[in-house]
Amino acid sequence: MNMAAMANPLRTNDAPKDNALRPEPAAAPDAKLRVAGLNFYYGAAHVLHDVSLEIPPNKVTALIGPSGCGKSTFLRTLNRMSDTVRNARATGAVTLDGEDVMAMDVVQLRRRVGMVFQKSNPFPKSIFDNVAYGPRLSGHMRKPALEEAVERSLRRAAIWDEVKDHLQESAYALSGGQQQRLCIARALAVDPEVLLLDEPCSALDPIATAKIEELLFTLKDNCTLVIVTHNMQQAARVAEFTGFFLLGKLIEFDKTEVIFKRPSRKETEDYITGRFG
Amino acid sequence: MIWRRFVNAFMFALTGVCTMLTVSVLFFILGYLIYQGGRSLSWDFFTKLPAPVGETGGGMANAIVGSGKLLLITILLGVPVGFLGGVYLAEFSGAAFASVVRYTADLLNGVPSIVIGILAYALVVVRAKQFSTFAGGFALSMMVIPITLRSTEQFLRAVPNTLREGALALGASKSRAVVTVIIPAAMRGILTGTILGVARVAGETAPLLFTAFGNRYWSPGWFQPTASLPMMVYTYAISAYEDWHRQAWAAGLVLLSMMLVANIAARLILSPKGVQRA
């Protein structure tokens, strides 16, 4: 494995002309995450083309688009989960509160930018140990403090009442929707500033989905949320801002109501109205 | 038309007979061992030393303890090497290096056990100028390493990638994720593979011939020759005495029972019911 390229993919800028042509991001001082001129490659495949985007704090931002349009890849560059893929390479800039994400210690970055995956992935441990995993990573915590953190996270993820009597039981005993909320609680336990959600409801039934969507509303007080979704209704329901990806390009990014009611690009309108995808 | 039906019936019968043959070999061995060895099994067999030549009775207590000591060395020496190597292979090494190591391990697994015995003889016995329990355990360790390595690697690779990502996304370093999430998730399988590997080498005779050597008395320590069950079977089976033959059958029965128990234990650990208790 080429460690040098892996450790810091955005630094390896093989195409200097990208830099010269990179559009300066519009001034938005309160952006939590700022992405400018991001290009991403898996080996020879160019999967993200010059994406620039600003994610506002304490809001829900949805990323929509057809399968394979690069929205998940984009999400994964925000906490550098993309580093784990061999031969992956990125150019451009991503900043978190003005700090260069690509230069940051990846462990620190991922504690500040949490992630919830498409398929719920509880560890083969007890419910308690799942939620306590993150806090335990960041150092020794006394038992009362740890218990408190676990309870707080489970409450924030709206699953406390369902599991409070079974904290020592295996997380695998929970239903799919509960497992996904447990994974959200696990991500919240380290108090991330940003929470990335990669199609968190795609494997869930409508009731479990509704619970998670409700949850997103309560979370954004303390957290910036970015959600990738296949489901346009979901984006319309939960997000203040929406970005539309197509073939690796960010076609349009605006307030959700603008995207859904008065999209300025024809591609967006075609997708929204169900003409393709 | 008739010919086709005939071929069909013939092949059906042939495959069925071969299947039955496979199964019956084990039951034949087991039945024969119980028939021949069961009569010689007694409390004495487990508690007494071999009787002097010419006397009847006696047991194989020293060989049972000797086999236990050999396996203990195997578990302490060989299993950790195989396990850690498997972890490196599955989680940290590059693909090209991993495939080379995997191939090497498979070759090592195929090396005749007598050759492993010669190696242990040259490396340990010749230098120490002494046959020993340790030399035997060393030989068995070398045999268990590739088995443990391959099974560890396989079970680690079977852990879903979503678990790896989950741990990394929480800010765990790669090694921390491996230790706290990936290995525990695969532990059941790794344990099973290890038990089966140890059970396999427990029955090896050839590597012990000129390492542990054999002993008709209690082995005084780790660096002296020791008796072991497979060696006892070998020595007693080719002897001239009827009584020894019976004892050889009994030793074979004990050895096979131990392996059956180990196999069943491994299956139980790996059973789906066990997974839920994770």
Residue A182 confidence class, pLDDT cut points 50, 70, 90: very high
| pLDDT band at residue A29 using 50, 70 and 90 as cut-offs | low
Buried b (16+ CB within 10 A) or exposed e, B126-135: eeeeebbbbb
The pLDDT mean for chain B works out to 89
Q: Is B172 part of the contact surface with chain A (CB cutoff 8 Å)?
A: yes
Q: What's the whole-model pTM score?
A: 0.81
Residue A262, domain extent: 57-80+105-272
pLDDT of A22 above 70: no
- Beta carbons of B171 and A138 less than 8 Å apart: yes
Q: Is B201 on the interface with A (CB under 8 A)?
A: no
Is A119 within 8 Å of chain B by CB?
A: yes
- A259 occurs within a structural domain: yes
Chain B residues 57-86 with CB within 8 Å of chain A: none
Which member of B167, B171, B181 has the closest CB to residue A190?
Answer: B171
Which tens digit of pLDDT belongs to each residue from B220-253? Answer: 888 998 999 999 999 999 988 888 888 899 999 9
CA distances from B50 to B43, B62, B166, B215, B235 (A): 13, 8, 58, 10, 12
Residues of A in contact with B176 (CB under 8 A): 137
pLDDT per residue as tens digits for the range B167-204? 999 989 899 999 999 999 999 899 989 998 999 999 89
The Cα–Cα gap between A150 and A131 comes to 6
Q: What is the domain-level CATH number for residue A121?
A: 3.40.50.300
Q: Is the model's pLDDT at B25 over the cut of 60?
A: yes
Q: Is residue A21 part of a domain?
A: no
**Could you tell me if A35 and A53 are in contact, meaning their C-beta atoms sit under 8 angstroms apart?**
yes
Cβ contacts of B180 on chain A, cutoff 8 Å: 133
Does residue A196 form part of some domain? Answer: yes
Q: Quick one: B252 exposed, middle or buried, by C-beta within 10 A (0-12, 13-18, 19+)? A: buried
Of B117, B142, B143, B137, which Cα lies nearest the Cα of B219? B137
| Closest Cα in chain A, distance from residue B168 (Å) | 8
Give B234 to chain A, closest Cα distance, Å: 46
B176 touches chain A (CB under 8 A): yes
pLDDT digits (tens, 9 = 90+) for A75-128: 999 999 988 888 888 899 999 998 898 889 988 899 999 999 999 999 999 999
Amino acid A274: pLDDT? 78
Q: Over range A155-183, report the average pLDDT.
A: 91
Of the pLDDT bands very low, low, confident and very high (cuts 50, 70, 90), residue A273 is confident
pLDDT digits (tens, 9 = 90+) for A118-147: 999 999 999 999 999 999 987 777 888 899
Contact A110 B168 (CB under 8 A): yes
Residue A50 maps to a domain = no
Q: Rounded to whole angstroms, how far apart are CA atoms A240 and A242?
A: 7
ipTM score of complex: 0.82
C-beta separation of A162 from A127 below 8 A: no
The pLDDT value recorded for residue A143 is 87
Say what the alpha-carbon torsion angle A16, A22, A24, A30 is, to the nearest 10 degrees: -90
Q: Of B71, B142, B152, B75, give the one whose Cα is nearest residue B110.
A: B142
Within-domain flag for A120: yes
What pLDDT score was predicted for residue B13? 95
Q: Is residue A8 part of a domain?
A: no
Whether residue A199 lies inside any domain: the answer is yes
pLDDT of residue B272: 60
Residue in B closest to A172 by C-alpha: B276
- Per-residue tokens: A102: 């690509």
Q: Number of structural domains, chain A?
A: 1
For residues A205-230, give the mean pLDDT. Answer: 90
pLDDT band at A276 (very low <50, low <70, confident <90, very high): low
B278 and A1 within 8 Å at the Cβ level: the answer is: no
Identify the band that residue B147 occupies on the pLDDT scale cut at 50, 70 and 90. very high
Beta-carbon separation of A121 and B170 below 8 A: no
The answer to the question of residue A30 being in a domain is no
B274 touches chain A (CB under 8 A): no
**pLDDT of amino acid A180:** 92
